[in-house]
Structure 1
Amino acid sequence: MVALKAQEIDRFLAHPPEGVSLVLIYGPDTGLVSERAQKLVAQATADNDDPFSLVKLDAADISADPTRLIDEALTIPLFGGRRVVWVKDGGSKNLAPAVDPLLKQSGEMALIVIEAGDLKKGTGLRKRFESDKKAVAIPCYADGVRDVERLIEEEVRHFGLTISREARQALQEHLGADRLASRGEIRKLCLYAYGKERIETGDVDAVIGDASAFVVDELVDAVATGDLETIDHGIERLEETGQKPDIIANNALRHFQLLHRLRGLYDKGAPAAQIVNQCSPPIFFRRRDTVAREIGLWNREDLEKAIDRLGQTVREARLNQNLGPALVSDVFLTLGRVSRARRGRR
C-alpha cells in the first residue's frame, strides 16, 4: 500500500482496519511520529483489558535478534483479543531481516506498529511498507500553517478558552517544527491564561516570547552562522526554561533540512533574499536576513552531512537523557565551527 495521504491519516488512526497488521509511522517530525503512534496503539488496545496485550520493543533488541519480532507477532493472547507490538526507533537499525518474514505471513497476527525517523523514498523499510498490500506507511512532516491553526484551536478549546487573532498570529510564528513541542507550548500558554476568557498577545509574549521557540531559533541560527559564543551559553539558557535537549536538536534538524531545500533553489539562480521571503510556512521576519546568509554559507553536500549528524544526535539524546545536553552541545559546536570556517573563506 502506498503512504497514506494527509486527509486519510486521521481516519485511519481513529478506526484502524482489522485487516492491517503492519504499520510504519515515519518522518522528520519525530514529535508527530510519536503522537500518531500513541494514538494508533491506544485505539487498537482500547477494548482489551489484558495488560499483556501490548508489547513494547526497541529496534536495537530486534536487530540483535530478528526472530523476536515474528515470535511476538504470532504469539496467541492468553485472554483473547489482539496483541499490539510497538517498536521504537525503527529507523536507527536494519529491521529488514525481522520485517520480511512478517510481510510473507498470510494468517492472523498481532498489529505491528513501527516508529522511524526521516526515511528516504524507495529504500529500506519505507520501500517495503509502501509496496506491500498488507502494510501501511504513515508519513509525518512538519506542520503547515493550517495544521498549526487546528492544533491551537484544539488545545485552546480543550481548556475552555478563546484566543484573539493577533495572539494566534504571534503564537503561530513559534510553532510547527515538532508536534509534541508545539503542543507543549500551547498547553503551557493555556495554563498561564487559565481563568481568563481569552488569550491575548501579552500572554503569548509572557510565556512563549523569550522562553521557547524564539530562543531555540536564536541558538539554531548561531549554529548555522558560526556564532560560537552564543552556542556556548545557549544550551544552558534553554535548559533553564525546561526545554529538552532532544527537542532542541530536532529543531536544528528541521532547520538544516529547510536550508537544504532552500539551497537547491539558490543553486538554480534564485536570490537568497527572494527565496526566504517566499518561503512557506513563512520565516519570522526578524530572522529572514540571517537565514538568507545561512543559505549562502552552506552548500548541499555539507548540509546533508549536518542533517545526518543531527539525526543521530536526536536519537541518541532521546535514548540517553542524562547525556542529552553533552551530545547536543558537541554537535552544535562542531557544526558551528564548520560554519565559521565557511564564513572565514567568504
Structure 2
Amino acid sequence: MTLLKAGEIERLISNPPENMGPVLIFGPDTGLVAERAEKLVTNASTGNEDPFSLVKLDASGLVSDPNRLIDEVLTIPLFGGKRVIWVKDASGKNLIPAVEAILKPGNCPATVVIEGGDLKKGTGLRKLFETNKHATAIPCYADNDRGVDILIDQETREANVSISREARTALHALLGADRLASRGELKKLCLYAFKKGRIETGDIEAIIGDASALETSELIDAAATGDVAGLDHGLERLTHAGSKATILANQTLKHFQSLHRMRADVDSGKSVRQVVESQRPPIFFSRRPSIIRQLSVWSSKDTQKAMELLSQATSTSRRNDELSVAIVSDVLLTLSRVAKSRSNRGHA
C-alpha cells in the first residue's frame, strides 16, 4: 500500500477497519509515532474486554526469535474478539524475518501495529510495507504551522482557555519538532493559565522557558546573525538533548525561505521595519530586532545560496542519520560565518 495522506491517516486511526492488515508507523517525529500508535491500538481494541487480547512486544525480542510474532498473531483469544499486537521500538532493528510471514494473504487475523523510527525510503521494513498491498505505512513528520495550530486548538479547547494572537505566534517558534513534547508543553501552559482563562506571551515565557527557544528560534537566529559562539553553545546543547538535527535543518530552511521573501520586499523599496512588522502571522516581538538585523546582513543572492545549502543538508542528513548532527552543524556554522563576514563588511 502507498503512504497514507494526512486525512487518510486520521480516518484510519479514528476508525480502523475490521480487516486492517499490519500497520507500520514511522518517521522522524518519534512523539507523533508513539501518539498515533497508542491511538490506533486503543481504537482497534475498543469493545474487547479481554485484557489478554492486547499483547505488547519489544522489537529486540523479535530479532532473536522471529517466529514469536506469527505465533502471537495466530493465537486465538481466550474470550473471543480480535487480538491486537503492539510492537514497540522497531527503529534500527531487522524485523523483516519476523514480519514477512504475517504479510502473506490470510496469515494475519490479528491487528498488528509496529512503531518504527526514521526509516529510510526504499529500504528495509519501510520498503516491505510500502510495496505490500496487504499492509499500511503511516509516516510521521514534524508538525508544520497548520499542525501546530491544530494542536494548540485541541489543547486550549479541552482546557477551556483562550489564547492571544501574540502568544500563538510565540508558540509557533517553540513547538512542532516532537508531537508528544509539544502536547506536554501545551498541557502545562493551559494548566498554568486555567484560572485566568487566557494564555498570554508572559505565560509562555514563564512555563516553556528558554531551553526550547534555544533549540529552535534562538539557535537559528544565532546562525543567521553570525553569532558563532552562541551557535556553538546551542549545537552542543542540541546534541546532549538528543534533538533531531534533520528537524533543525528543515526549520532553518523555512526561516531562510521567509527571509528570502522579506528581502525581496526590501529590495522593492519597502523599509526593513515595515516589512518585518507586516508579516502574517506576526513575528514574535522579541525576535523582531534580530530579524531586522538579519535583513540588513543577508542579500537575496546570499539567502538563495543558503536555501540551497540547507535543502541539500536536510536531504543528506535524512539519508545518513548517524552523520546528521555533523552535517547540519557544518552548514549552520558556514551560514554563521557568512553572516559574520557580511556584517563586518557592512553588507546590505
Shared fold (TM-score, shorter chain, > 0.5): yes
Deviation at 1:336, TM superposition (A): 5.2
1:122 matched residue in structure 2: 122
2:214 matched residue in structure 1: 215
Change (3 A) 1:231 1:56: farther
String of CA shifts for 1:105-129, please: whole Å, max 9, x gaps.
4155221101112233333222222
The whole-number CA distance in structure 2 between the counterparts of 1:305 and 1:226 is 25
Change (3 A) 1:226 1:296: farther
1:60 matched residue in structure 2: 60
2:75 matched residue in structure 1: 75
Residues 59 and 92 of structure 1 are in contact (CA less than 8 Å); yes or no, is this contact kept in structure 2? no
Deviation at 1:20, TM superposition (A): 0.9
The whole-number CA distance in structure 1 between the counterparts of 2:117 and 2:305 is 25
2:43 matched residue in structure 1: 43
Change (3 A) 1:88 1:190: same
Change (3 A) 1:66 1:4: same
Residues 177 and 254 of structure 1 are in contact (CA less than 8 Å); yes or no, is this contact kept in structure 2? yes
String of CA shifts for 1:150-208, please: whole Å, max 9, x gaps.
11011001111111222222222221111111111111111111111222222223323
2:267 matched residue in structure 1: none
Change (3 A) 1:76 1:44: same
Deviation at 1:132, TM superposition (A): 2.1
Residues 89 and 116 of structure 2 are in contact (CA less than 8 Å); yes or no, is this contact kept in structure 1? yes
The answer to whether 1:157 aligns with 2:157 is yes
AA matched with 1:135: A
String of CA shifts for 1:249-274, please: whole Å, max 9, x gaps.
13x33113556x78xxx9xxxx9952
Residues 21 and 134 of structure 1 are in contact (CA less than 8 Å); yes or no, is this contact kept in structure 2? yes
The whole-number CA distance in structure 1 between the counterparts of 2:56 and 2:263 is 45
2:260 matched residue in structure 1: 274
Change (3 A) 1:101 1:282: farther
Residues 54 and 85 of structure 2 are in contact (CA less than 8 Å); yes or no, is this contact kept in structure 1? yes
Q: Percent identity?
A: 47
Structure 2, gaps ≥5 residues long: 265-279, 342-348
Deviation at 1:300, TM superposition (A): 7.4
Residues 159 and 190 of structure 1 are in contact (CA less than 8 Å); yes or no, is this contact kept in structure 2? yes
The answer to whether 1:141 aligns with 2:152 is no
Residues 188 and 207 of structure 1 are in contact (CA less than 8 Å); yes or no, is this contact kept in structure 2? yes
Using the size of structure 1 for normalisation, the TM-score is 0.73
The whole-number CA distance in structure 2 between the counterparts of 1:276 and 1:72 is 57
String of CA shifts for 1:64-97, please: whole Å, max 9, x gaps.
2221211111111122222211112223112211
The whole-number CA distance in structure 1 between the counterparts of 2:318 and 2:30 is 14
Using the size of structure 2 for normalisation, the TM-score is 0.72
Residues 298 and 342 of structure 1 are in contact (CA less than 8 Å); yes or no, is this contact kept in structure 2? no
Deviation at 1:36, TM superposition (A): 0.4
The whole-number CA distance in structure 2 between the counterparts of 1:343 and 1:169 is 25
The whole-number CA distance in structure 2 between the counterparts of 1:276 and 1:119 is 35
* CA radius of gyration, larger in: 2
The whole-number CA distance in structure 2 between the counterparts of 1:127 and 1:94 is 13
AA matched with 1:147: G
Change (3 A) 1:202 1:16: same
Aligned-partner SS, 1:52: helix
The whole-number CA distance in structure 2 between the counterparts of 1:299 and 1:34 is 28
String of CA shifts for 1:122-146, please: whole Å, max 9, x gaps.
3322222222222111111221222
